[in-house]
C-alpha cells in the first residue's frame, strides 16, 4: 500500500514541509533510507543523515530546524519517536493473523477455548486450561494444566507455561520463554547434600506485559511470582521465585533478580543488572547497565556500579579511578624524593 505525506501528517496531527503528494510504501532507517520509504529522526546524533538520506519522507520533532537544505519531505510532529511507534503499530495490526487449529496439535477435552483463536501445529493445551478470545498460540508451545490466558494474548513458538500459571490479556510472550519452572529452592542436609523444597506456588503475569525470548520466570515456593501490569522484560532475563515486579517497570537483557525481591513501579533496569534476594527497590528507580543491587533502594534515585550507589557519586569515583595510575606514579616519585632527603 502507498501513503501520501499529507495523509500521514493528518493521521499523526503533524505538519508537512515539502511535497505533500510524495508517496511511501515502506519504512527504513534514516542512514539507510531508500526512495519511497519513510524514516524518522529522533536522536540528534543522527542529524547528519537527514541531509543525505534517500528516504522520501522523514518524521522529525516540531522543534527541528535543518542546518542545510534537505531533499526529503519532512513531517513535523510532537515526538518523532512516538509517531514512528504509532505507525509501526498500525502496520503490524494490518498484517494477516493466522486463525484456526492446526494439526497435529493437542487440546484436552476439559480445556476452555475462546473464539477466534489460533493454535499452531504441535502445540499442547492441558487439562482445564482456559484460553481467552483472539489468543494466538504458535507451534510447539506448551500450555500446562490449569493455565489461564487472557484475551488478545500471543504465545510464540516454543514457549512453555507450567501448570496453574496465569497470563493476562494483551500480553506477548516471545519464543522459548519458560513461565512457571520450579524456583531454585534446596535445603542443605547435614551430610552436605541438598533436599529439594517443593515449589507449590505459581506465576501471575498481569495485563499488557511483554516478555522477550528465552526469559525464565520461576514459580513461587508458596503464593505467586508476580509480573505486574505493563511490565516489559527483554530477552534472556531470570526472574526467581516469589519476585514481584511493579507496574510499568522495564528490565533489559541478561538481568537477574534473585528470590523474594520486590521491585517498585516505573523502574528501569539496564542490561546485565543483578539484584540480591529479599530486597526492596522503590518506585521510579533507574539502574545503569551491569550494576549490582545489594541493599534496599528508596524511591526516585539513579544508581550505577556494583554494588550500586548514587549515580552522581559514581561518576566522581570513576573520574578519580581513571587518575589512579598517574597518582600512583606521583606517590612513587614522592617516596623516592623523601628517601633521598633522608639520606642527605
Q: Is the dihedral of CA 27, 32, 34, 38 positive or negative?
A: positive
* Residue listed under C-alpha cell 521491585: 263
Q: Is the peptide bond before 170 cis (omega within 30 degrees of 0)?
A: no
Burial of 274 (0-12, 13-18, 19+ CB in 10 A): buried
Q: In what order do the strands lie in the sheet with 26-27?
A: 15-17, 73-77, 57-61, 37-41, 26-27
- Grid coordinates representing 276? 540480591
Q: Which residues contact 144 (CB under 8 A, 6 or more apart)?
A: 126, 129, 160, 161, 162, 163, 164, 165, 180
Query: Which of helix, strand or coil describes residue 213?
Result: coil
Q: Which three three-digit cell numbers place residue 31?
A: 542512514
Residue 314 phi/psi, 5° resolution?
A: -60, -45
Residues 6+ apart with CB under 8 A from 224: 201, 202, 203, 204, 242
Cell numbers at residue 265, please?
513501579
Confirm whether 241 is a catalytic residue: yes
From the list 163, 166, 174, 241, the catalytic residue is 241
What is the SS3 assignment for 113? strand
Q: Name the percent of the chain in helix, strand, coil, to the closest 5.
A: 20, 30, 50
Question: Catalytic residues, which ones?
Answer: 241
Amino acid at each position: 500500500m502507498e501513503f501520501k505525506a499529507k495523509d500521514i501528517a493528518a493521521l499523526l496531527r503533524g505538519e508537512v514541509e515539502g511535497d505533500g503528494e510524495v508517496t511511501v510504501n515502506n519504512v527504513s532507517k534514516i542512514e539507510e533510507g531508500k526512495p519511497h520509504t519513510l524514516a524518522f529522526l529522533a536522536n540528534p546524533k543522527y542529524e547528519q543523515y537527514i541531509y543525505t538520506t534517500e528516504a522520501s519522507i522523514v518524521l522529525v520533532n516540531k522543534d527541528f530546524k535543518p542546518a542545510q537544505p534537505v531533499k526529503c519531505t519532512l513531517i513535523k510532529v510532537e515526538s518523532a519517536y512516538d509517531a514512528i511507534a504509532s505507525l509501526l503499530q498500525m502496520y503490524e495490526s494490518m498484517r494477516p493473523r493466522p486463525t484456526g487449529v492446526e494439526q497435529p496439535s493437542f487440546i484436552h477435552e476439559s480445556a476452555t477455548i475462546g473464539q477466534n483463536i489460533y493454535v499452531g501445529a504441535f502445540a499442547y493445551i492441558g487439562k482445564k486450561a482456559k484460553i481467552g478470545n483472539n489468543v494466538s498460540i504458535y507451534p510447539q508451545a506448551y500450555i500446562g494444566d490449569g493455565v489461564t490466558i487472557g484475551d488478545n494474548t500471543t504465545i510464540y513458538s516454543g514457549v512453555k507455561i507450567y501448570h496453574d500459571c496465569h497470563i493476562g490479556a494483551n500480553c506477548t510472550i516471545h519464543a522459548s520463554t519458560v513461565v512457571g519452572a520450579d524456583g531454585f529452592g534446596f535445603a542443605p542436609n547435614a551430610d552436605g547434600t541438598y533436599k529439594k523444597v517443593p515449589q507449590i506456588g505459581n506465576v501471575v503475569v498481569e495485563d499488557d506485559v511483554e516478555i522477550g525470548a528465552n526469559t525464565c520466570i520461576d514459580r513461587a515456593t508458596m503464593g505467586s511470582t508476580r509480573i505486574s501490569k505493563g511490565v516489559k522484560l527483554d530477552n534472556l532475563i531470570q526472574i526467581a521465585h516469589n519476585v514481584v515486579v511493579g507496574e510499568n517497570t522495564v528490565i533489559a537483557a541478561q538481568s537477574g533478580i534473585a528470590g523474594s525481591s520486590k521491585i517498585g513501579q516505573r523502574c528501569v533496569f539496564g542490561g546485565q543488572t543483578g539484584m540480591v534476594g529479599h530486597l526492596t527497590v522503590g518506585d521510579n528507580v533507574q539502574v545503569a547497565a551491569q550494576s549490582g543491587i545489594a541493599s534496599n533502594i528508596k524511591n526516585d534515585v539513579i544508581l550505577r556500579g556494583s554494588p550500586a550507589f548514587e549515580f552522581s557519586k559514581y561518576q566522581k569515583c570513576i573520574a578519580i579511578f581513571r587518575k589512579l595510575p598517574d597518582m600512583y606514579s606521583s606517590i612513587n616519585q614522592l617516596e623516592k624524593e623523601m628517601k633521598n632527603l633522608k639520606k642527605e
